């Protein structure tokens, strides 16, 4: 049987694909813009007939009904990384957050024990291979090998990406259904003057020929937009961004000086706008790979002058970085921040930057993001022993291998001027400074 005949034999309707999932099943699927939206929506319509189905995903970009509290016990949702939509349902909803480093996503895939896996894919190529698209390369391949049943939704608008473990053959899946819908995009994030200033401070520290990793957020976008005058940059990043695409189109990113996959933009996944999805489609320059390989610290460190730039939410005076929660309120997830912090600091000539505005406006007024101590429940994403550079609009604090008093003084120096005296007083009261 050729693959075209096999495809037709396995082709079912959206409703039929969703009907494959039974009570008690554990179901995995990719996150972000690669979620099989039509199958998930059809599954949600079966809520009342299902019990104890568990769905693993994350960074949701579709407002699925499953997030609502009435789905608890019917279809439970475990988020591997909290996105804005999931965040809305953390209190009283049906979203259960999970914490892990992206570099061990393969171990999570095994631990989850998903007996069913479903994902969105591209149309088959001439050999019958379907691409996992912008986010599916993350861990689709290992999940497919572990699952008893595999369901794919073929979306005509899913880009075909190249790299390692980026495709699945028609013969390797059990059910095929079809959809045709645009991929969700990230809206453009406004960049403030403060974020531009932070971006400029970081850009000044990036040499020509460096390999970069940039996280998501306004500060990261500010860095990307100010790299236009650099030369021969490379990319090794968990997430490919719009800013990287624009720099590649301008020739700033060409990967000539990379040690690991020279000439290639290495990424675990891509989330951005439609232009980015078109850029990665059949683009041999873009080398996608499972995130547990991309985020492997040893692989990151293979690139000389590896520059890691990530956002954090709040930092204490000793350099502990809280990047995923405010108190007990989860904001995002552990992700790959620490993977790249460690990879960059182990790279020859590498640098790790964690950035944040010095203050934030709250309902109770403006408060300092640099604090003497965190609120109870605050999650430490990057330990102080791993931190190299902390950047605010007031400067860069080099904390690498510094004593605690030196760290404290450096952090106070880059805090907002209105809070420096108070922070110094508190530091002395608790014994951080004499």
Rounded-to-integer distance, Cα 404 and Cα 304, Å? 29
CA 432 distance to own-chain centroid: 34
Q: Is there a catalytic annotation at residue 238?
A: yes
How long is the chain?
A: 434
The two beta strands, 359-362 and 365-368, are: antiparallel
Cα–Cα distance measured from residue 426 to residue 173, given in angstroms and rounded to the nearest whole number: 60
CA 58 – CA 77 distance, rounded (Å): 9
Buried b (16+ CB within 10 A) or exposed e, 137-155: bbbbbbbbebbebbbbbbb
From the candidates 86, 195, 238, 424, which is the catalytic residue? Answer: 238
Residue 244 CA to residue 223 CA, distance in Å, equals: 10
Residues 6+ positions from 431 with CB-CB distance below 8 Å: none
Q: In DSSP terms, which residues pair with 131 in a beta bridge?
A: 167
Give the orientation angle of helix 218-225 with respect to helix 242-249, to 10 degrees: 10
Rounded Cα–Cα distance for residues 318 and 323 (Å): 15
Helices (H), 281-380: 291-294, 297-301, 337-346
Q: Tokens at residue 229, please?
A: 């005058």
CA–CA gap between residue 75 and residue 327 (Å, rounded) = 28
Looking at the annotation, which residues are catalytic? 238
């Amino acid at each position: 049987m050729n693959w075209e005949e096999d495809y037709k034999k396995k082709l079912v309707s959206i409703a039929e694909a969703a009907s494959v999932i039974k009570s008690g099943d554990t179901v995995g699927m990719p996150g972000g813009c690669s979620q099989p939206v039509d199958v998930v929506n059809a599954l949600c319509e079966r809520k009342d007939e299902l019990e104890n189905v568990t769905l693993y995903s994350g960074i949701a970009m579709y407002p699925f009904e499953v997030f609502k509290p009435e789905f608890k016990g019917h279809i439970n949702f475990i988020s591997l990384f909290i996105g804005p939509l999931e965040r809305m349902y953390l209190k009283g909803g049906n979203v259960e957050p999970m914490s892990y480093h992206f570099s061990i996503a393969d171990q999570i895939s095994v631990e989850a024990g998903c007996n069913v896996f479903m994902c969105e894919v591209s149309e088959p190529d001439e050999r019958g291979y379907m691409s996992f698209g912008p986010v599916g390369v993350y861990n689709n391949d290992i999940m497919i090998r572990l699952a008893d049943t595999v369901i794919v939704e073929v979306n005509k608008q899913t880009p075909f990406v190249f790299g390692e473990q980026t495709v699945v053959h028609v013969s390797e899946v059990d059910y095929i259904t079809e959809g045709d819908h645009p991929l969700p995009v990230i809206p453009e994030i406004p960049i403030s003057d403060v974020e531009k200033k932070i971006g400029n401070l970081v850009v000044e520290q990036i040499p020509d020929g460096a390999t970069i990793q940039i996280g998501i957020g306004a500060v990261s976008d500010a860095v990307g937009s100010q790299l236009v005058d650099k030369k021969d940059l490379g990319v090794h990043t968990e997430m490919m961004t719009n800013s990287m695409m624009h720099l590649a189109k301008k020739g700033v990113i060409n990967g000539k000086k990379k040690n690991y996959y020279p000439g290639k933009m290495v990424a675990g996944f891509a989330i951005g706008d439609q232009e980015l999805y078109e850029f990665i489609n059949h683009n041999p320059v873009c080398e996608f790979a499972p995130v547990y390989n991309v985020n492997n610290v040893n692989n990151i460190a293979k690139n000389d002058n590896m520059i890691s730039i990530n956002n954090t939410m709040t930092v204490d005076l000793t350099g502990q970085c809280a990047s995923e929660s405010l108190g007990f309120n989860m904001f995002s997830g552990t992700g790959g921040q620490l993977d790249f912090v460690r990879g960059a600091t182990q790279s020859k000539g590498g640098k790790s930057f964690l950035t944040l505005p010095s203050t934030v406006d709250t309902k109770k007024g403006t408060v300092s993001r640099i604090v003497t101590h965190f609120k109870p429940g605050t999650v430490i994403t990057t330990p102080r022993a791993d931190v190299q550079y902390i950047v605010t609009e007031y400067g860069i604090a080099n904390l690498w291998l510094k004593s605690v008093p030196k760290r404290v003084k450096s952090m106070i120096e880059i805090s907002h001027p209105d809070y420096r005296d108070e922070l110094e007083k508190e530091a002395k009261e608790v014994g951080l400074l004499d």
